[in-house]
């Protein structure tokens, strides 16, 4: 354990304090040799001990979060701070290893309820550690979609952020249960979302098709990643009274263009 901790301390010094390149690549190579670095007990302020995997990019996201660095969703966090009000419940669909969920909890310290939907079994232990330290968090190992059944996911080894049911990323697969958001709410009426954040590597249309009753009756704001398709394809799936914007990646400000070059996240706001 002392040897593996040395590499984490080295990263914190080399990357965190000196801001020099190369520490992440070195740590990822070492993590393939030492299994203890694939479930490393990282101490995170406010959450306690979180088991992270340094053979995967999610480990570095957690480590950088523990160093209080801004992640890739700085603009989205600024948008939520400005526009989300005081939500009672947020759904994070495609929660990955939960580092963005940690940012949500940091942004809304009094958020009553946060539901994390993530079908990748390699992420489960990390997400459950968050829920253990924060009872307001509930982990669901489901894939939200427009149908109930089993879905096959392709994933890129070492890069859990690339996990998709919409496209083949490698020859590695896993299968998970799926259901629609409407069906999930019907079974869990206390989970009424004020906001939904969707990051599912191109399967956003399927998720939104499964939210029709929620969108019509509850009118939550809906954030979605718009990197893998023209976001205009989602417009026919939304009920009347929603307007689509792009969230600037840095400032969190909104633009009408829907151009992913301005921001990799879009949002539908009820008007």
Q: What is the pLDDT of residues 215-239, one digit of tens each?
A: 999 999 999 999 888 999 999 999 9
DSSP string, 195-222: EEEE--TT-HHHHHHTTHHHHHHT--EE
Structure confidence by residue, pLDDT tens digits, 184-205:
999 999 999 999 999 998 899 9
Task: Output the CA–CA distances (angstroms, integers) from residue 68 to 51, 65, 137, in the order listed.
Answer: 18, 5, 21
Position 110 scores a pLDDT of 95
Structure confidence by residue, pLDDT tens digits, 37-46:
999 999 999 9
Structural domains of the chain, with CATH: 2-66 (no CATH), 74-270 (3.40.50.150)
| Average pLDDT of the segment spanning 88-99 | 96
Residue 251, pLDDT > 90, answer yes
The 3-class secondary structure across 94-139, one letter per residue, is: CCCCCHHHHHHHHHCCCCCEEEEECCCHHHHHHHHHHHHHCCCEEE
pTM, full prediction: 0.93
Q: SS3 helix, strand, coil % of the chain, rounded to 5?
A: 40, 25, 35
SS3 227: coil
SS3 252: coil
Q: Which residues pair with 173 in a beta bridge?
A: 154
* CA–CA gap between residue 94 and residue 66 (Å, rounded): 21
Q: Kindly indicate the confidence band of residue 25, based on its pLDDT and cuts at 50, 70 and 90.
A: confident
Residue 170, pLDDT > 70, answer no
- The phi-psi region of residue 219 (left if phi > 0; otherwise alpha if psi is between -120 and 50; otherwise beta) is left
CA count, 13 A, side-chain hemisphere, 232: 5
| Average pLDDT of the segment spanning 101-130 | 96
Residue 1, pLDDT > 60, answer no
Q: What are phi and psi of 155, to 5 degrees?
A: -140, 155
Position 260 scores a pLDDT of 65
């Amino acid at each position: 354990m002392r040897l593996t901790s040395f590499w984490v301390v080295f990263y914190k010094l080399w990357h965190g304090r000196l801001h020099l390149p190369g520490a992440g690549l070195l740590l990822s190579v070492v993590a393939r040799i030492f299994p203890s670095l694939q479930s490393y007990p990282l101490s995170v302020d406010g959450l306690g001990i979180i088991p992270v995997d340094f053979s995967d990019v999610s480990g570095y996201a957690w480590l950088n979060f523990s160093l209080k660095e801004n992640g890739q969703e700085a603009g989205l966090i600024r948008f939520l701070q400005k526009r989300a009000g005081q939500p009672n419940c947020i759904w994070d669909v495609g929660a990955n290893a939960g580092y963005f969920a940690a940012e949500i909890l940091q942004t809304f310290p009094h958020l009553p309820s946060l539901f994390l939907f993530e079908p990748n079994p390699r992420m489960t232990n990390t997400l459950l550690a968050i829920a253990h330290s924060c009872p307001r968090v509930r982990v669901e190992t489901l894939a939200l979609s427009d149908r109930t059944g089993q879905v096959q996911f392709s994933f890129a080894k070492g890069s859990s952020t690339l996990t998709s049911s919409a496209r083949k990323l490698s020859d590695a697969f896993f299968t998970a249960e799926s259901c629609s958001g409407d069906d999930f709410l019907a079974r869990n009426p206390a989970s009424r979302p004020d906001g939904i954040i969707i990051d599912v590597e191109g399967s956003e249309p399927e998720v939104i098709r499964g939210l029709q009753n929620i969108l019509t009756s509850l009118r939550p704001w809906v954030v979605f990643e718009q990197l893998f398709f023209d976001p205009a394809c989602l417009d026919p799936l939304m009920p009347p009274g929603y307007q689509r914007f792009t969230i600037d990646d840095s400032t969190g400000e909104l633009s009408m263009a829907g151009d992913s070059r301005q921001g990799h996240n879009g949002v539908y706001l009820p008007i």
